[in-house]
Amino acid sequence: MIELEDLLGVALKIESSGYEFYTELAKRSTGESKKLFSSLAEQEKDHMKIFEKLISSSKEKSGVLNEETVGYLKVYAETSIFPEIERGVPENMKDALEIALDVEKDSVIFYEELIKYAPQTSTIQKIIEEEKRHFRDILKMIESLN
């Protein structure tokens, strides 16, 4: 049985893992890279707070979601997002950026599905737009390394 709180908890874990990943990248970087990773870490931290609030508010009106319809979202996050980010930050900056790019892309996919079931869709839509901006910023940084 999957409840909305479970999916929002997965979203919270995505943001928490992203925060840790970008914080570690910021520690290992200098100049513009450090500035970008510090900014991304702070934005992920803000997203964590938003999902914490959504979890709290969803408890009051929590409902059971169709497991077949929504269950794959948890599996998607557990097989696509978390393994990428939880293996740690590689020494090579380009490899680290490629992981970050994949995680941002997969997060957008997850949130675009989550929005169908979650309250405050405008809040989640704002997070989706920010994650897309993260993707573009990381892509620019990868291109500057070439």
Q: Model-level pTM?
A: 0.86
Number of domains in the chain: 1
Q: What is the pLDDT of residue 72?
A: 78
Residue 63: predicted pLDDT: 56
* pLDDT digit string, tens, across residues 47-94: 999 999 888 887 655 555 667 657 778 888 888 888 888 788 888 888
Give the domain CATH number at 51.
1.20.1260.10
- Provide the 10 A C-beta neighbour count for residue 143: 9
Which residue range(s) make up the domain with 108? Answer: 2-145
Of 25, 19, 20, which Cα lies nearest the Cα of 37? 25
User: Residues with Cβ < 8 Å from 39, sequence gap 6 or more?
Assistant: none
pLDDT tens for residues 83-125? 888 788 888 888 989 999 999 999 999 999 888 877 778 889 9
| Per-residue pLDDT at 68 | 66
**Which residues, in sequence order, are CB contacts of 90 under 8 Å at separation 6+?**
96, 99
